[in-house]
Chain A
Amino acid sequence: MSILVDKNTRLLVQGITGKAGAFHARGCRDYGTNVVAGVTPGRGGEKLDETIPVFDTVAEAREQTGCNATMIFVPAAGAADAILEAADAGVELIVCITEGIPVHDMMRVKFALADRLNKDLTLIGPNCPGIITPGACKIGIMPGYIHKEGNIGVISRSGTLTYEAVWQLTSRGLGQSTCIGIGGDPIHGMSHTDALKLFTNDPGTEAIIMIGEIGGAGEEEAAEWAKEHCKKPIAAFVAGATAPEGRRMGHAGAIVQGGQGTAQGKKEALRAAGIAVAESPADIAETLISLLKQ
């Protein structure tokens, strides 16, 4: 079992003829994802690798191929428009990989989609590695081979730090149900809490790893929710304990402001909710394993 994506996912790639879009469309296809279509305005009628049809609009791609998920590689200036286009065409799952979308654009997108998010529409990202259900479906830029089928759910704001945690699990024989990177921007779709709710209700997920970082209050909200509603074991790590205040640490959303959003504050909130917190990023999997042994 898994959440959001599986063998039945029919993937569209927006920006499929770009360098990154084509590269990762192939990467997902080679992993076993059913990549049914691509969209690049002005390139309708072409095919990627003589097999994947390219359309001018998402509406056409949806009508002709029945795609139910999309992976967006459209450059930052047009990515907000690409999200709205996919939502308008009725694509149920939107995974936006694009980094550097202006914050004001994302504010408008989120308000425009507010009535639909987490109802008939799920938005993951932007500025995220994507989502993967090992052995079934990969939507994103993560290296597929580090994953293994299993029953640990992984939620994270970052890319390579997620790979680190996943690799720790896999190399200790623990597989994953689904891994989601929710992205490093201050305004994003799916939150830690949204992902946690899905994993809590997924019979195929027995334990959860949650990786956070400085900035915002997403981890604190998730901790609050987990305290009341999630009985599954959760291990967590929060990056950025050594980050100076007021600086954006690579991710636009990773910033401590006015003493808010610190790693320390987040760790305390997580521990108060009964979540095991790893102090070192090298101990994320071991922290979960010791919980599972209890």
Chain B
Amino acid sequence: MNIHEYQAKQLFDRFNVATSRGGVATTVEEARQVASSLSSKELVVKAQIHAGGRGKGTFTNGLRGGVQLVKSVEEAVELAGKMLQNTLVTHQTGPEGKLVQKVLIAESVDIAKEYYIAILLDRASGAPVVIASTEGGVDIETVAEKTPEKIWKVPVHPLLGLQPYQARHLARRLGFSGKQFLKASQLLLNLYRLFAESDCMMVEVNPLVVTKNGEVFALDAKLSFDDSALPRHSEIMEMRDTSEEDPREVAASAFSLNYIGLDGNIACLVNGAGLAMATMDIIKHHGGEPANFLDVGGGATEEQVTEAFKILSADPKVKAILVNIFGGIMRCDIIAQGIINAFKTTKLSMPLVVRLEGTNVEQGKQLLHDSQLPLQAASDLTDAAKKVVAAAARS
């Protein structure tokens, strides 16, 4: 799960990670309150959408730039008014853009130097690693490739957490000294607490800055959380903004279906994540393009199967559907009944290819046969893929 910049700032405040002062506004009145409370000579107004490239984006009402520097409260209020409830188009939003429902208004910071900090889970060692670089504000992948000597990595023992000496070591490597050295070390320790106590998969601060008056701030951050741990963090779960997600995925998650939208025209419904990926692969292998990943899980109910069909068939790009079930615990006759009912309730009009294997497969096939529905039964995985690719090409 991803969160907005203003929400990351709220988490920074909670864990005492030093950051610039600011607040969020959903209306012009709130924008005035926030801007006046900051008593700063310069303010920055930032549209809150998940997509990147905000600064270079354009609003459909003509305003250029989703990140604006202003010199007065009045100006901040005026710009907030132009951003709120308007649509911002960036290179990541697609041409339809994103509706801006919130703006962040923060004090503007005079940057003296920029750094990069990230804490993430290193799969190879199975432990967190802190990554720091003197090259902030730029793409870290490029730094890693061209000047790897400017990146430092410190592995963290998950039972001990980041130790103060490790934070000091990194702060020195980054070139901090004096008061700023202590501030930077403390910021790293607080940031690690945020990472560990909020069950983050990654915390990336880019940039970490030293201001012209000597403060050390985490200025902008990207946080991602372990979905499995969200049940124990209701405060973070509340930060979810479904208006930022693919509506097909939001609909699927409401029924505990594991769905990821793709760009192809062959939809698939599969039980199990590995088999679902393999089904996408075999569609491609035979010349088709998968429209989605969908794992209905090991114990899908008839209701879930029906909902899954609704989501798949509502996608205007989809030309054909492939159902691939390897019944283990899930019995094929139950799946077959689910397909028959879903077919009727959703009034499915596109080609449907069904491949069933495993527990009670004969009963399942018989049910489908007796239903006289216009579906194609496949004898095996290859047959299924070939049939669905051909069906999509025809329709």
Contact = CB atoms under 8 A, between A and B. Distances in A.
B126 A111 contact: yes
A243 B295 CA distance: 13
A104 interface: yes
A240 B228 contact: no
B199 A282 contact: no
B379 to A, nearest CB: 11
Given A164-B381, A250-B258, A111 B277 contact: no
A146 B327 CA distance: 10
Contacts of B126: 106-107, 110-111, 187
B272 A159 contact: yes
A158 interface: yes
Contacts of B328: 141-143, 146, 159-160, 163
Interface string A250-275: 11111000100001000000000000
Interface string A152-185: 0000111111111001000000000000000010
Interface residues of A, number: 60
B158 interface: yes
Nearest to A145: B359
A217 B280 CA distance: 22
B50 to A, nearest CB: 13
Given A143-B328, A239-B277, A160 B158 contact: no
Given A141-B298, A160-B274, A282 B380 contact: yes
A229 to B, nearest CB: 20
Given A107-B126, A167-B357, A250-B295, A143 B199 contact: no
A107 B158 contact: yes
B121 to A, nearest CB: 6
Given A104-B226, A143-B328, A111 B278 contact: no
A145 B327 CA distance: 12
A242 interface: yes
Contacts of A41: none
B159 A112 contact: yes
Nearest to B262: A244
Contacts of B381: 164, 280-282
A252 B228 contact: yes
A116 interface: no
B176 interface: no
B276 interface: yes
Interface in A182-215: 184, 186-187, 211, 213-215
Contacts of A53: none
If over half of B's interface residues share one DSSP class (helix, strand or loop), that class is named, otherwise mixed; here it is: mixed
A152 B117 CA distance: 47
A120 interface: no
A282 B382 contact: yes
Contacts of B313: none
A108 interface: yes
B94 to A, nearest CB: 15
Given A112-B159, A242-B284, A158 B272 contact: yes
Contact of B280 (A103, A184, A242): A242
Contact of A242 (B141, B196, B281): B281
A291 interface: no
A160 B123 contact: no
Name, among B121, B274, B382, the residue most crowded by chain A CB atoms within 10 Å (CB to CB).
B274
A230 interface: no
Interface of B: 121, 123-124, 126-128, 141, 157-159, 196, 199, 201, 226-229, 231-232, 258, 260, 262, 270-285, 290, 293, 295, 298, 326-329, 357-359, 380-382, 385
Interface of A: 76-77, 100-108, 110-112, 141-143, 145-146, 156-164, 167, 184, 186-187, 211, 213-217, 237, 239-244, 247-254, 258, 263, 279-283
Given A108-B159, A214-B277, A239-B277, 16 more contacts: A77-B232, A104-B158, A142-B328, A160-B272, A160-B275, A187-B123, A216-B123, A240-B280, A241-B281, A243-B280, A249-B276, A249-B293, A252-B226, A281-B381, A282-B381, A283-B382
13 contacts: A103-B121, A103-B199, A107-B128, A108-B158, A111-B126, A141-B328, A142-B328, A159-B298, A167-B326, A249-B293, A250-B272, A258-B141, A282-B385
